[in-house]
Structure 1
């Protein structure tokens, strides 16, 4: 991939794009579900997809709202125990290293600030981004992470190059006006 225009802003997702966090996420959910519901997650869920809140509710249909919230809280609190199960995605880091001297490198993630910063610090990536946008920044708005970052930084969609691995987020980037040629599916 060659990015010729130095005016272009490179906007990266975190989970699954820069850092593979699926196993750590799964293990944290597993521990939380075991504590709250005394259920074994691997016997309930067998998939190569990232485990999400939506899947939590679908595999445990009788889950009450307070139990779901408790599971999420515990998951967030124990996540740091599984940081060693996360891995930098080298191909993404190589892109960042190649363009970081000539382009603004931006993080736009659906992760909460505390978790994202924990991951970035663990992998010594805290200082590579000119700007960072977290779930808390746009959570109460009807706006995608990429749209929020572009609006905040006053970036034209034509000057944003997005690096993302999630199909839904790629669709959101296109809805925000980012041309398909400016979206790199990693």
Structure 2
């Protein structure tokens, strides 16, 4: 019995790759780093900034990494025109809501999630949202998926998780959710 559907946001429900990469590249450049949006997408998609910024800016301290992430967060909405909803996934989630609660599980900040959902007129759609700000251990750790199941009062083993990245797949798998890998044609 399926008790809930839990979906990732970036790359699964909403194509945010170009916007996310562009916003991070802008912020990284302001702090002396250099990376192209294409290289960022290829190497760091789905990762928390706490994992990739030390790799991109190895000489910077944790305070500078946090400042880069804050600058990205403040500029992210400027790049929303580069995003689009994957209609097939939204249709699946909309249909699923008739039978089970639907949650969003993402590494994105709460602010970014709320702004992006508002931009795409999806605010209020999800029964629960777990953002990167809501957990101690971001994906690939199991905590985000376990937190969503806990908030919904369901058994994670009876949940379907929709994911597109290895980081997210690892998170959902380690939580013991049933993982559906979402592949979009580019």
TM-score, structure 1 normalization: 0.82
Contact 1:144-1:173 at 8 Å conserved across structures: no
SS of residue in 1 equivalent to 2:5 = strand
Unaligned runs of 5+ residues in structure 2 are none
8 A Cα contact 2:13 2:90, kept in partner? yes
Partner SS state of residue 111, structure 2:
helix
| TM superposition shift of 1:172 | 2.4
Residue 153 (structure 1) aligned with residue 149 (structure 2):
no
Show the counterpart of 1:17.
Answer: 12
1:168: which partner in 2? 167
Q: Which runs of 5+ in 1 are unaligned?
A: none
SS at match of 2:31: helix
Root mean square deviation, CA, Å: 2.5
The structure that has the greater radius of gyration is 1
State yes or no: 1:57 paired with 2:51: no
What does residue 127 of structure 1 align with?
Answer: 124
Partners of 1:43 and 1:105 in 2: how far apart?
Answer: 31
Change (3 A) 1:106 1:74: same
Q: CA deviation at 1:49?
A: 4.3
TM, length-normalised to structure 2: 0.82
> Which residue of the partner structure matches residue 89 of structure 2?
92
Q: Which residue, out of 36, 39, 55, partners 1:42?
A: 36
Q: Which residue of 1 aligns with 2:28?
A: 33
Among 99, 103, 106, the alignment partner of 2:100 is 103
